[in-house]
Structure 1
Amino acid sequence: MSKIFDIAIIGSGIAGAGLAAMIGDQATTLLLEAEATPGYHATGRSAAFWSETYGGPAIQPLTSASGPRLKAGGFLFPRGIAHVADQDGLDALKKFQESFAGTPVVLTPLDRAAIEATGARLKAGWDHGLSEASCEDIDVAALHAHFLSVAKKTGTELHTHNRVTALTRKEGYWFIETTRGSFKAARVVNAAGAWASEIAKLAGALPVVITPYRRTMIQLQVSPTPPAAMPIIIDALTRFYFKPEAGNRFWLSPHDEHPQPPADVAPEEMDVAIAIDRFQQAADWKIEKVERTWAGLRSFSPDRAPIYGADPKAEGFFWCAGQGGFGIQTSSAGSMLAACLLLEQALPDWLKDVDPERYSPKRFQV
Structure 2
Amino acid sequence: MDYHDVIVIGGGVAGASAAAEIAAHATVLVLEAEDQPGYHSTGRSAAFFTTTYGNSASQALGRISEPFFRNPPEEFSESPLLHPRDQIVVANADGLDRLQAMQQSIAGDVVAISAHEALERVSVLNAGEVAGAFVDRTGGELDAGAILGGYVRLLKQRGGSFVGNARVSGLSYLDGLWTVTTERGDCHRAPIVINAAGAWADQVAELAGLTPLGIKPLRRTAILVPPPEDTEVGDWPMVVHLSGELYFKPDAGMILVSPMDETEDLPSDVQPDEYDVAVAVDRLINNTSVEVRNVPHKWAGFRCFAPDRNPVVGYDPRSSGFFWLAGQGGFGVGTAPALAHLTCGLVTGEKIPPVYDRVLHLAGALAPARLLS
Asked if the contact 1:65–1:350 (Cα under 8 Å) also holds between the matched residues in 2, the reply is yes
AA in 2 matched with 1:189? I
* Matching residue within 120, 123, 126 for 1:123: 126
Note if 1:262 corresponds to 2:264.
no
Q: Which amino acid aligns with 2:238?
A: I
Q: Distance in 1 between matches of 2:56 and 2:243?
A: 17
Task: Measure, in 2, the Cα distance between the counterparts of 1:303 and 1:347.
Answer: 26
Tell me how large the CA RMSD over aligned residues is.
1.4
**What is the match of residue 150 of structure 1?**
154
Q: Does 1:230 align with 2:258?
A: no
Residues 5, 120 of structure 1: CA spacing in aligned structure 2 closer, same or farther, 3 A cutoff?
Answer: farther
Q: How many Å separate the matches in 2 of 1:334 and 1:240?
A: 28
Does residue 107 of structure 1 match 2:110? Answer: yes
Alignment partners' CA distance in 2, 1:237 and 1:190:
37
Return the alpha-carbon distance in structure 2 between the equivalents of residues 165 and 124 of structure 1. 54
Shift of 1:135: 1.7
Could you tell me which amino acid in structure 1 is paired with residue 121 of structure 2? T
Paired AA for residue 92 in structure 1:
R
Partner of 2:335: 330
Cα 1:310–1:31 change in 2 (3 A) is same
Alignment length (residue pairs): 361
Question: Alpha-carbon deviation of 1:358?
Answer: 1.4
Q: CA deviation at 1:345?
A: 2.7
Q: Distance in 2 between matches of 1:221 and 1:121?
A: 13
Q: How does 1:15-54 map to 2 (within 5 A)?
A: 15-54=14-53
Query: Counterparts of 1:145-184 in structure 2 under 5 Å?
Result: 145-180=149-184, 181-184=186-189
- Shift, 1:238, TM fit: 6.7
What is the aligned counterpart of 1:78 among 84, 90, 102? 84
Residue 293 of structure 1 is matched in structure 2 by: 298
- For 1:362, the equivalent position in structure 2 comes to 369
Question: Which residue is equivalent to 1:55?
Answer: 54
Match of 1:245 among 251, 254, 260: 251
Shift of 1:99: 2.8
For residue 25 of structure 1, give the secondary structure of its aligned residue in structure 2.
coil
Q: Report the more deviating stretch, 111-120 or 252-261.
A: 111-120
The CA distance in 1 between the partners of 2:52 and 2:303, in whole Å, is 17
Q: Could you tell me which amino acid in structure 1 is paired with residue 306 of structure 2? A: S
C-alpha contact (below 8 Å) 2:81/2:142 kept by paired residues? yes
2:76 maps to what in 1? none
Q: CA deviation at 1:352?
A: 4.3
Q: TM-score, normalised by structure 2?
A: 0.93
- Per the TM alignment, residue 157 of structure 1 is displaced from its structure 2 partner at its CA by 1.2
1:341-360 to 2 correspondence within 5 Å?
341-354=346-359, 355-360=362-367
The one-letter amino acid paired with 2:323 is F
SS at match of 2:338: helix
Matches within 5 A, 1:189-200: 189-200=194-205
Q: Distance in 2 between matches of 1:365 and 1:114?
A: 48
- Structure 1 residue runs of 5 or longer lacking an equivalent are none
Compute the displacement of 1:23 (Å).
1.2
Q: CA deviation digits over 1:253-275, x for unaligned, max 9? A: 00001001101111111111111
Residue ranges of structure 2 left out of the alignment (5+ in a row)? 73-79
Equivalents in 2 of 1:29, 1:331: separation in Å? Answer: 18
Question: Is this contact kept in 1: 2:217–2:264, CA < 8 A?
Answer: yes
Partner of 1:306: 311
Rounded to whole Å, the distance in 2 between the matches of 1:120 and 1:345 is: 52
Distance 1:238 1:357 in 2: 36
Moved over 4 A (4+): none
Which amino acid letter does the alignment assign opposite residue 89 of structure 1? G
- Please give the alpha-carbon distance, in whole angstroms, between the structure 1 residues aligned to 2:58 and 2:105: 12
* Residue deviations 1:225-263 (CA, integer Å, cap 9, x gap): 24422110001247100001122x110000001001101
> Secondary structure of the residue that 2:295 maps to in structure 1?
strand
Residue 121 of structure 1: how far off its partner (Å): 2.1
Contact 2:246 2:280 in 1 (8 A): yes
Compared CA separation, residues 237 and 23, structure 1 to 2 (3 A): farther
TM-score, scaled to structure 1: 0.95
Per-residue CA deviations over 1:211-238 (Å, capped at 9, x if unaligned) read: 0011100001011424422110001247
